Amino acid sequence: MADTLIFGASGQLGQCLAHVAKERNTPGLIFPPEADANILAPDKLRALFEQHKPAYCINCAAYTAVDKAEDEVDLARKVNRDGVENLARLCGEFGTTLIQISTDFVFAGTGNTPLVETDAAEPISVYGLTKLEGEQVIGAHTSQFFILRTSWLYSEYANNFVKTMLRLGQDRDEMRVIWDQTGTPCYAIDLAGCILTIIESQSQQYGIYHYSNEGVTSWYDFATAIFELSGTPVKTVPIRTAEYPTKATRPAYSVMDKTKAKTVLGVAIPHWRTSLATCIERLG
């Protein structure tokens, strides 16, 4: 199998890709060091493409500090839009298929029915806007791309909600958690598996896909499940978003419909509680 270049290799999803590739014995994945793989450095990117002539490029690199992005608009845009365009341009030139990771934050979150890929993207934060701009610049440079929108990403790697709750739960007997934001967690190991399935099957069903775990929950119910499944004796108290103000506005409802990913890509998607139990067991 031809080489696959991974950008953002040291982040959560990058580490999950390395984990799953090892489990599945998937050949050809290249995880270049960050110093050689800065998506804002076109010359370095070109050197990597010329060296490896990759069949696939997976972009896990992103500016993801949702609240800081409200103040660091230019930096967020450089990483989430300009960096993606740098990769897309090279993918078009080298005939490489781009797999770009995007987010549920491209939606306003004002509805109450699961979001499909063709629903209007109307971001309500700088982070969501710059991620949408990243999606939009790809098509000018290549038609060989998969955009995978995901949500509430967590795993045993890097910093995320699950690990934060477990850490805070060691010192507290009560946690106040938002209950009026609804979505679906995504175990990054499962998302990595979906990405590798695309590569292994050599799918050419290009386009935008939604991928998270199955089911629907709130942050409050998610936190409650984390404490239950880990045996951590913490009482969770539901609060409204208004009681926990943040600089960036979050979508109130961002449950994504995964029918397209299941039918077109042929991936099986576990329920969020099943995957959460697996993660917590692995965290030990």
pLDDT tens-digit profile of 45-54?
999 999 999 9
Active site residues: 127
pLDDT at 1: 65
Q: What φ, ψ does residue 146 adopt, rounded to 5°?
A: -120, 130
Say which residue the tokens 């993606």 belong to.
84
**CA-CA-CA-CA torsion for 204, 30, 42, 34, nearest 10 degrees?**
130
Give the global pTM.
Answer: 0.97
Q: Are strands 182-183 and 217-218 parallel, antiparallel or unpaired?
A: antiparallel
pLDDT at 284: 86
With CA atoms as reference, report the closest residue to 155 among 55, 44, 12, 54.
Answer: 12
Domains in the chain, CATH or no CATH each: 4-159+186-213+251-270 (3.40.50.720)
Neighbours of 74 (CB within 10 A): 9
pLDDT digits (tens, 9 = 90+) for 221-280: 999 999 999 999 999 999 999 999 999 999 999 999 999 999 999 999 999 999 999 999
